[in-house]
């Protein structure tokens, strides 16, 4: 009888361990989701924090040797955790397996400068952001969400009411935001860029925005260039969406796909687009193929002193976001950008087969 009881106790312990909900992989804590195939990242293990935060696409529970997809960044995972030095983070790399980033996940990481999003994997039909994810990340300089299946604003997902408020609020060093060719996003939700006083360029090329919610760009006083991906003017532009921005914007340009769009935005009655921007069709470099994912890579990006390319180029030129040629190079793989002012630039490269590609980069 005693042996039977010991056997049952041991069996219970094994079953309990096999269904444990939390485990550690590397320097990160994970929690198994109810579907049994995915996990959420809950933050650093105390004492194992790192400046470069790399969230893997897959992790293995060491107790069971079971592999899981990393699908969720838990709410507050890297925000104000007692006994954890989250402020050490300077860069974040997120995998294409992510489906949800929870409220306040990376809020007020004061030393964070760079966030990289891998393109969504084929099984991720929707990436959803909850509220205030990067609120107060005052050193963050640029964000490119192109290639992710993101619903940037409220409207899709459960619960929809948590999607997109104050995402980048008070990111005072943010100079550029890009979300190109996205079919899920139609709304810039409440306070998304409120207080982003250095934001110069917002690129929704190929993304049809129909709604600008309250305070979407409140006090974005450096805003110069806005790309919108539909010829139809937005249905709704809240009275405070561009609050605190003085019209006309000096050098302000709004780019829409065609001349039809220029007419539609000029004639819009719900917002005086032409009072703020010069409305133009196409892009400043209409003959270029501006790419966000290519065999051709530019690094580091953001850059401070120099940038390098992943393959040899015959010639290269650097342009401002308004299309002004700034620097020219020939037969180089490393390029001095130390004398450029802080901001967003276009790097146009010509290759031996006479093709060209253009990539945006950020000078810090």
The DSSP letter of residue 160 is: G
Alpha carbon distances (Å) from 285 to 57, 176, 293, 334: 36, 17, 18, 23
Distance CA 175, CA 244 (A): 17
Per-domain residue ranges of the chain: 298-363
* DSSP, residue by residue, 253-315: EEEESSHHHHHHHHH-SSS-HHHH-EEEES-TTTTS-B-SS-S--EESSSBSSEEEESS--SE
Residue 128 contacts residue 102 (beta carbons within 8 Å): no
Per-residue model confidence as pLDDT tens for the chain (364 residues) = 544 544 444 444 444 444 448 999 999 999 999 999 999 999 999 999 999 999 999 999 999 999 999 999 999 999 999 999 999 999 999 999 999 999 999 999 999 999 999 888 878 888 888 899 999 999 999 999 988 888 877 644 555 555 679 999 999 999 999 998 888 888 999 999 999 999 999 999 999 999 999 999 999 999 999 999 999 999 999 999 999 999 999 888 999 998 899 999 999 999 999 999 999 887 544 334 444 444 567 778 778 888 888 777 888 889 876 667 889 988 888 889 999 988 778 888 888 877 777 777 778 7
Residue 218 contacts residue 240 (beta carbons within 8 Å): yes
Supply the pLDDT for residue 364: 78
Name the residue among 300, 320, 341 with its Cα closest to residue 113: 300
Supply the pLDDT for residue 225: 93
Tell me how far the alpha carbon of residue 319 is from its chain's centroid.
Answer: 23
**Terminal Cα-to-Cα distance of the chain (whole angstroms):** 73
Helix (H) or strand (E) holding 182: none
- Here the tokens at position 46 are 């105390």
Helix (H) or strand (E) holding 247: none
Beta bridge partners of 298: 309
Residue ranges in 124-246 assigned as alpha helix (H): none
Supply the pLDDT for residue 2: 45
Residue 185 contacts residue 163 (beta carbons within 8 Å): no
Supply the pLDDT for residue 9: 46
Supply the pLDDT for residue 14: 46
Beta bridge partners of 148: none
Beta bridge partners of 211: 187, 236
- pTM (2 decimals)? 0.74
- How is domain 298-363 classified at the CATH fold level? Immunoglobulin-like (2.60.40)
Supply the pLDDT for residue 123: 82
Name the residue among 187, 231, 223, 188 with its Cα closest to residue 206: 231
Name the residue among 291, 271, 278 with its Cα closest to residue 346: 291
Supply the pLDDT for residue 303: 83
Supply the pLDDT for residue 308: 86
Q: Find where tokens 């069709």 sit.
A: 281
Residue 288 contacts residue 323 (beta carbons within 8 Å): no
SS3 218: coil
């Amino acid at each position: 009888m005693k042996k039977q009881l010991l056997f049952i106790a041991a069996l219970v312990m094994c079953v309990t361990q096999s269904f444990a909900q939390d485990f550690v992989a590397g320097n990160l804590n994970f929690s198994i989701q109810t579907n049994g195939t995915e996990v959420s990242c809950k933050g650093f293990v105390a004492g194992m924090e790192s400046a470069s935060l790399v969230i893997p696409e897959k992790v293995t529970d060491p107790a069971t040797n079971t592999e899981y997809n990393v699908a969720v960044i838990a709410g507050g995972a890297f925000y104000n955790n007692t006994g954890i030095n989250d402020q050490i983070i300077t860069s974040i790399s997120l995998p294409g397996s992510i489906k949800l980033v929870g409220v306040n996940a990376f809020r007020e990481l004061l030393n964070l400068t760079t966030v990289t999003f891998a393109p969504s994997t084929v099984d991720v039909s929707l990436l959803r952001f909850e509220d205030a994810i990067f609120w107060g990340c005052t050193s963050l300089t640029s964000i490119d969400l192109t290639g992710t299946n993101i619903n940037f604003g409220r409207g899709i997902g459960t619960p929809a009411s948590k999607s997109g408020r104050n995402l980048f609020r008070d990111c005072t060093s943010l100079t550029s935001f890009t979300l190109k060719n996205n079919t899920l996003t139609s709304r810039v939700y409440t306070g998304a860029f409120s207080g982003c006083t250095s934001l110069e360029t917002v690129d929704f090329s190929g993304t049809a925005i129909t709604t600008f919610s309250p305070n979407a760009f409140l006090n974005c006083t450096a805003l110069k260039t806005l790309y919108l991906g539909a010829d139809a003017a937005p249905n709704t532009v809240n009275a405070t969406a561009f609050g605190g921005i003085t019209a006309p914007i000096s050098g302000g340009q709004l780019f829409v796909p065609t001349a039809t769009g220029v007419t539609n935005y000029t004639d819009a009655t719900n917002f005086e687009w032409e009072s703020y921007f010069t409305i133009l069709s196409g892009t400043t470099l209409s003959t270029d193929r501006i790419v966000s994912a290519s065999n051709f890579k530019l690094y580091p990006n953001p850059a401070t002193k120099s940038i390098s390319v992943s393959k040899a180029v015959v010639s290269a030129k650097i342009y401002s976001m308004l299309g002004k040629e700034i620097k020219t190079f020939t037969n180089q793989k490393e390029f001095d950008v130390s004398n450029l002012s802080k901001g967003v630039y276009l790097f146009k490269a010509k290759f031996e087969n006479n093709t060209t590609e253009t990539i945006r980069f950020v000078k810090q």
